[in-house]
Amino acid sequence: MVAEDEFEDPESVASATLAPILDASGRGDLPARIVSARVRLRPRLREIWKSRELVVFLIRKELKVKYKGSFLGFIWSMINPAIVLMVYYVVFRYFLRTAVPEFALYLFSGLLVWNFFGVTLGGASSAIVRNAGIVKKVSFPREILAISQVGTSLVFFFFQFLVLVLFLIGFRYAPAWGYLPLLLGALLDLVIFTTALSIFLSAANVYLRDVQHLIDVILQAWFWGVPIIYSYNRVYHHAHWLGYLFLADPITPIVLSFQRALYGHVAPLGYGYANGASGPVLANYPYHFYVAMLGWVFLASVVLLLASLLVFGRLEGNFAEEL
């Protein structure tokens, strides 16, 4: 579309949008970022924090461009997931009958997490390359180009979550009220982990342009390694070691937490699978199990985020030459 071309044109963005914002916020008077072999995290984090208004601006800009000229505007962000959820409901309830109760709800609660994760990585991996003109002409923390992709996906995530809430109300389906606080911790872990990978991939793609294509292939394979369509309960019953291996994937505890909070059908671990029955898809783990899993994901994600910032700082020095 014309609007998207205008937004992604480096010359117009650098001169007409980003530079005035930097000047208005006072950042235009700051000297250019000095890139050296020694990367210090605290100044970089401080610089990113000072640029939070620019992150918000980039998020708003992308949202406006996406729906520019559209009559319904942001309503489309709710129409699409609503149609998908209704299709799942009709297909799995009346045509592809399954023994799993309310399978559409179980499936969509996991897809909420994966859609955010996959879409963000796909967009963030090429964020630096797409905005080459800005990177070479304007001084600002380049990390925020990847961070803004996370923020944009987070907006769409809340639209999709609202659709799911309306679905629960409309069909009078009660979530697991006692487990709802898990959603906050799971969402925090998801955002930090996705941000860490986004920053790293955006820098790596500058040097290896195959990264943005490779990530699409990896995400397709990764999707089937997360218990979204099938049950983690079944995986653990098949082989205990395989169940522990699944939990080593940071996305799996996040998905399981969303499913446990939003989906109420649970059973003892491995229940019903010995006789080939489908049974309830969620194992009845105690609350502290999910807290422990989300805790280790949080720590791992923070470490990964700091490491990604260090790698980004080391690679940033030759961005202009590579672009």
Give me the tens of pLDDT residue by residue for the chain, a chain 323 residues long: 434 444 444 444 444 455 555 554 444 444 445 455 567 888 889 999 998 999 999 998 888 887 776 666 677 778 888 888 888 888 888 887 776 778 888 899 999 999 999 999 999 998 999 888 888 887 788 999 999 999 999 999 999 999 999 999 988 888 999 999 999 999 999 999 999 999 999 999 999 888 989 999 999 999 999 999 888 888 888 888 998 999 999 999 999 999 999 987 776 665 555 444 455 578 788 999 999 999 999 999 999 999 999 999 888 888 877 76
Number of domains making up the chain: 1
Q: Are 7 and 65 in contact (CB under 8 A)?
A: yes
* Domain carrying residue 128: 2-322
pLDDT of residue 209: 87
pLDDT of residue 88: 86
Query: What 3-state class would DSSP assign to 283?
Result: strand
pLDDT of residue 237: 81
Query: What 3-state class would DSSP assign to 278?
Result: coil
H helix runs in the chain, sequence order: 2-8, 10-13, 19-24, 41-50, 52-66, 76-90, 103-124, 127-130, 132-137, 143-170, 182-207, 211-223, 232-238, 240-247, 251-262, 287-315, 319-322
Read out DSSP for 94-118?
IIS--SSTTHHHHHHHHHHHHHHHH
**Rounded CA gap, 196 and 302, in Å?**
8
Read out DSSP for 147-202?
HHHHHHHHHHHHHHHHHHHHHHHHTT----GGGTTHHHHHHHHHHHHHHHHHHHHH
pLDDT of residue 30: 43
pLDDT of residue 217: 94
